[in-house]
């Protein structure tokens, strides 16, 4: 079962909201502008939902418009305020020089400010209000700048950290200023009392999908008397403030959510949510010693936790959680290879160890206790799995290392060759940036490192590795190193370059071309490069690394089952890393075929046996999303085994998954 802990990104739709939306689509489907009875029913529904929203938000005499979501609400508010500022200026009042937004605001706000400022030709200065280490606005700075501000935008609660803004303090800082005030209420809806009309807030946008309504429905609060310019002109709906036929199913669903909020039965109160959050926080601290929370818990939404584990990349943590079917999000934007530091945490002045490795965990106010308990249990298992696989910053368990492991970073490969029998190992082409990761693995393994080798002349990586693990260094000179039954030999190429041959099975060729190797290698020798920007993994003298390789065939679940029925001898290989295999789900195959585990980092060990198989025996790779399995399948095709396939979309798209990995499924 999936444990969804990314509610600040979006939530599932509440059952009652789904039922209300269906009813609005199937039964009360009228157009509220129609004057017949079907239309009147739709109109009555809109009126009911608007009044309920107005009560819940304390909107008083302010208006509430239905629109598509917060981004549209923000545009409308910014356009309205900026047009009013232009009119003020035309009337001779040029006191507004600045458009201010909190430095941790959602991107929709500063981008809208810049966009409309340019489009309306205002030329005002758009400036970020600094925040303190606790994520709250610098009120002294705001007070100083408020007299020259035309519009001030401050969110009620932050989406990444959950930090709750001091709206009373902000209001006090704005005293005496003629600026307009926009409060982004997206993350506060249903979690904080807002009492909009009690403050001088001019505009407040909301998005339904952050609180169990579907995507595509939102609200904009506009204070009575605040200037307004429609973003959409047309049929005159919403009192001509927002044209376009209303999203009735969305409005009905939002109405059901607001009803649940008002009756207090489906949503937990603040104290209960805080207890849940504290339990999750304790589970995290226990699972990941050294963990730091990136915002003070007492000043954050009781449904959000943002943390970092110094020494542990957020990408690894995200993969770990995802494998355990715990859906969390990076507190920072993650690309495939590198995490971008979070601008929110950077604005708070947190060190890089925190900004680049943040993880956000957020749940909705309808969370049940059993759900939180299950989340805590999975967090505990994640911590154990990390230590079992030598991935934690400390407290790791011993690890058996055998065979060849590839470490890939920014397209550069480093190879570790270990022999469990003789407990000896060798590292080829270590890069400086990999020294810590390698050292951690070598420490867990505990084997003497008998050689640190380079195929080229760069030796910073080798020096860094030697410095990191002096206790394991047992370097032997010469040009040959025994590793159990195998021997690794140096072949000098001149210019200070070398190639290392593991018998004639594998050649670590660095940047050399196959032509330079001559008769030192056989046609089937696997060539392991030092530079592999396209992630080709390996080649042979007859199947060059740069050779053409289109995508390997992909199979969906039905096609895979059909293939297995036709070829019960097919090999099915899980290329995920061991920690994912330990935590994650395996596909339920029909017919039940044993699955072999061979992480992508260790493919070289299995290639000779796979390539020796009869050409008609299929081999199917799978992973989490279909990327790694595609790499493996392409490799096999390129090296000559054409019946290699990748499971399309990986396990993420597999229809039925087992509740937990069953070790019996693996051979």
**Catalytic residue numbers, as ranges:** 334
Identity of the residue, 102 or 557, whose beta carbon is nearer to ligand PLP in the bound complex: 102
Smallest separation (angstroms) from ligand PLP to the CB of 106: 3
Which residue among 207, 431, 585, 629 contacts ligand PLP (CB under 6 A)?
207
Identity of the residue, 187 or 385, whose beta carbon is nearer to ligand PLP in the bound complex: 187
Near ligand PLP by CB under 6 A, which window of 63-71, 347-355, 492-500, 638-646?
Answer: 63-71
The footprint of ligand PLP on this chain (CB under 6 A) covers a number of residues equal to 12
Contact between 186 and ligand PLP by CB under 6 A: the answer reads: yes
Which residue among 42, 45, 70, 465 contacts ligand PLP (CB under 6 A)?
70
Near ligand PLP by CB under 6 A, which window of 54-62, 68-76, 398-406, 445-453?
Answer: 68-76
Identity of the residue, 189 or 538, whose beta carbon is nearer to ligand PLP in the bound complex: 189
Near ligand PLP by CB under 6 A, which window of 69-77, 350-358, 437-445, 645-653?
Answer: 69-77
C-alpha 113: how far from chain center: 27
Site for ligand PLP in 208-267 (CB under 6 A): 209
C-alpha 627: how far from chain center: 16
Which residue among 75, 80, 177, 187 contacts ligand PLP (CB under 6 A)?
187
User: Which residue do the tokens 């209960």 mark?
Assistant: 272
Identity of the residue, 74 or 453, whose beta carbon is nearer to ligand PLP in the bound complex: 74
Identity of the residue, 209 or 641, whose beta carbon is nearer to ligand PLP in the bound complex: 209
* Nearby residues of 129 by Cβ (< 8 Å), 6 or more positions away: 100, 101, 102, 103, 137, 138, 141, 142, 145, 152, 154
Near ligand PLP by CB under 6 A, which window of 64-72, 280-288, 292-300, 638-646?
Answer: 64-72
Q: d(Cα 633, Cα 210) in Å, to the nearest integer?
A: 40
Q: Encoding tokens for residue 259?
A: 């009803």
Identity of the residue, 301 or 552, whose beta carbon is nearer to ligand PLP in the bound complex: 301
Q: Encoding tokens for residue 502?
A: 């593991």
Smallest separation (angstroms) from ligand PLP to the CB of 166: 16
Burial of 141 (C-beta count, 10 Å sphere; 0-12/13-18/19+): middle
C-alpha 418: how far from chain center: 34
Identity of the residue, 154 or 634, whose beta carbon is nearer to ligand PLP in the bound complex: 154
Contact between 69 and ligand PLP by CB under 6 A: the answer reads: yes
Q: d(Cα 144, Cα 163) in Å, to the nearest integer?
A: 23
Q: d(Cα 161, Cα 297) in Å, to the nearest integer?
A: 9
Smallest separation (angstroms) from ligand PLP to the CB of 244: 16
Smallest separation (angstroms) from ligand PLP to the CB of 208: 8
Query: Do residues 597 and 574 lie in contact, with contact meaning Cβ atoms separated by under 8 Å?
Result: yes
Q: Which residues of 200-229 are buried (b: 16+ CB within 10 A; e: fewer)?
A: ebbbbbbbbbbbbbbebbbbbbbbeebbbb
Site string for ligand PLP, 99-128 (x = CB under 6 A): -------x-x--------------------
Site for ligand PLP in 77-96 (CB under 6 A): none
Query: Do residues 161 and 135 lie in contact, with contact meaning Cβ atoms separated by under 8 Å?
Result: yes
Near ligand PLP by CB under 6 A, which window of 30-38, 66-74, 329-337, 369-377?
Answer: 66-74
Contact between 357 and ligand PLP by CB under 6 A: the answer reads: no
Site string for ligand PLP, 15-54 (x = CB under 6 A): ----------------------------------------
Smallest separation (angstroms) from ligand PLP to the CB of 9: 7
Identity of the residue, 7 or 283, whose beta carbon is nearer to ligand PLP in the bound complex: 7
Smallest separation (angstroms) from ligand PLP to the CB of 416: 42
Smallest separation (angstroms) from ligand PLP to the CB of 368: 24
Identity of the residue, 155 or 507, whose beta carbon is nearer to ligand PLP in the bound complex: 155
Beta bridge partners of 531: 412
Site for ligand PLP in 129-158 (CB under 6 A): 155
Q: Which pairs count as long-range contacts for 542-545, CB under 8 Å and 24+ apart, including other chains?
A: 543/638, 543/639, 543/640, 544/514
Smallest separation (angstroms) from ligand PLP to the CB of 108: 5
Identity of the residue, 108 or 665, whose beta carbon is nearer to ligand PLP in the bound complex: 108
Contact between 71 and ligand PLP by CB under 6 A: the answer reads: yes
Smallest separation (angstroms) from ligand PLP to the CB of 596: 41
Query: Beta strands 526-529 and 506-510: pairing type?
Result: parallel
Q: Encoding tokens for residue 325?
A: 């079917």
Classify residue 512 by its DSSP letter: -
Contact between 539 and ligand PLP by CB under 6 A: the answer reads: no
Q: Work out the number of other CB atoms within 10 angstroms of the CB of residue 655.
A: 9
Site for ligand PLP in 156-185 (CB under 6 A): 159, 184
| SS3 sequence of 295-348 | CCHHHECCCEEEEECCCCCHHHHHHHHHHCCEECEECCCECCCCECCCHHHHHC
Three-state DSSP at 659 gives: coil
**What φ, ψ does residue 417 adopt, rounded to 5°?**
-115, 120
Smallest separation (angstroms) from ligand PLP to the CB of 634: 36
Closest among 360, 250, 230, 239 to 295, alpha carbons compared: 360
Q: Work out the number of other CB atoms within 10 angstroms of the CB of residue 492.
A: 10
Burial of 6 (C-beta count, 10 Å sphere; 0-12/13-18/19+): middle
Contact residues toward ligand PLP (CB under 6 A) are 69-71, 106, 108, 155, 159, 184, 186-187, 207, 209
């Amino acid at each position: 079962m999936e444990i969804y802990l990314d509610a600040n990104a979006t939530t599932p739709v509440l059952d009652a909201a789904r039922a209300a939306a269906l009813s609005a689509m199937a039964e009360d489907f009228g157009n509220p502008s129609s004057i017949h009875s079907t239309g009147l029913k739709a109109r009555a529904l809109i009126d009911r939902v608007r009044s309920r929203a107005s009560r819940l938000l304390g909107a008083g005499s302010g208006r509430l418009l239905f629109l598509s979501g917060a981004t549209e609400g923000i545009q409308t508010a910014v356009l309205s305020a900026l047009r009013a500022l232009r009119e003020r200026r035309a009337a001779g009042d040029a006191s507004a020089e600045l458009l201010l937004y909190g430095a941790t605001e959602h991107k929709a706000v500063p981008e809208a400010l810049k966009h409309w400022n340019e489009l309306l030709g205002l030329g005002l200065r758009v400036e970020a209000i600094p925040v303190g280490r606790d994520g709250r606005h610098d009120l002294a700075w705001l007070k100083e700048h408020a007299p020259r501000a035309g519009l001030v935008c401050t969110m009620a609660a932050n989406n990444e950290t959950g930090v709750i803004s001091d709206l009373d303090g902000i209001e006090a800082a704005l005293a005496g200023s003629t600026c307009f005030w926009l409060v982004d209420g997206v993350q506060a809806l249903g979690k904080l009392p807002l009492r909009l009309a009690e403050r001088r807030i001019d505009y407040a946008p909301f998005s339904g999908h952050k609180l169990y309504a579907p995507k595509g429905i939102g609200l904009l609060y506009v204070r009575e008397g605040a200037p307004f310019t429609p973003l959409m002109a047309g049929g005159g709906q919403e009192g001509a403030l927002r044209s376009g036929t209303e999203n009735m199913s969305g409005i009905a669903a939002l109405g059901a959510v607001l009803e649940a909020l008002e009756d207090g039965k489906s949503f937990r109160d603040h104290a209960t949510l805080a207890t849940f959050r504290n339990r999750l926080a304790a589970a995290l601290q226990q699972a990941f010693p050294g963990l730091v929370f990136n915002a003070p818990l007492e000043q954050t939404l009781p449904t959000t936790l943002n943390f970092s584990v110094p020494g542990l990349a957020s990408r690894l943590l995200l993969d770990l959680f995802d494998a355990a079917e715990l859906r969390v999000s990076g507190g920072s934007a993650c690309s495939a290879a590198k995490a971008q530091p979070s601008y929110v945490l950077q604005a708070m002045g947190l060190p890089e160890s925190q900004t680049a490795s943040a993880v956000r965990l957020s749940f909705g106010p309808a969370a049940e206790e059993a759900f939180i308990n299950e989340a805590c249990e999975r967090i505990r298992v994640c911590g154990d799995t990390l230590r079992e696989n030598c991935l934690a910053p400390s407290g790791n368990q011993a690890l058996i290392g055998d065979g060849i492991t590839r470490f890939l970073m920014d397209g550069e490969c480093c190879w570790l060759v270990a022999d469990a029998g003789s407990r000896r190992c060798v590292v080829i082409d270590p890069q400086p940036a990999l020294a810590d990761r390698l050292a951690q693995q070598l420490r867990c393994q505990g084997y003497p490192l008998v050689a640190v080798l380079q195929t080229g002349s760069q030796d910073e990586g080798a020096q860094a590795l030697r410095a990191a693990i002096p206790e394991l260094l047992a370097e032997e000179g010469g040009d040959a190193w025994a590793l159990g039954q195998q021997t690794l030999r140096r072949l000098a190429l001149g210019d200070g370059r070398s190639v290392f041959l593991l018998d004639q099975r594998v050649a670590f060729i660095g940047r050399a071309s196959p032509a330079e190797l001559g008769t030192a290698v056989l046609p089937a020798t696997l060539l392991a490069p030092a530079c592999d920007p396209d992630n080709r993994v390996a080649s042979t003298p007859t199947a060059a690394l740069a050779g053409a390789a289109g995508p390997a065939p992909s199979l969906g679940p039905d096609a895979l089952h059909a293939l297995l029925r036709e070829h019960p001898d097919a090999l099915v290989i899980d290329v995920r890393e061991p920690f994912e295999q330990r935590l994650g789900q395996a596909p339920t195959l029909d017919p039940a075929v044993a699955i072999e585990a061979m992480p992508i980092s260790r493919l070289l060990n299995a290639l000779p046996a796979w390539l020796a198989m009869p050409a008609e025996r299929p081999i199917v790779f799978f992973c989490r999303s279909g990327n790694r399995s595609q790499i493996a399948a392409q490799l096999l095709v390129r090296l000559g085994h054409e019946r290699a396939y990748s499971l399309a979309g990986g396990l993420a798209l597999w229809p039925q998954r087992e509740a937990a990995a069953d070790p019996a499924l693996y051979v």
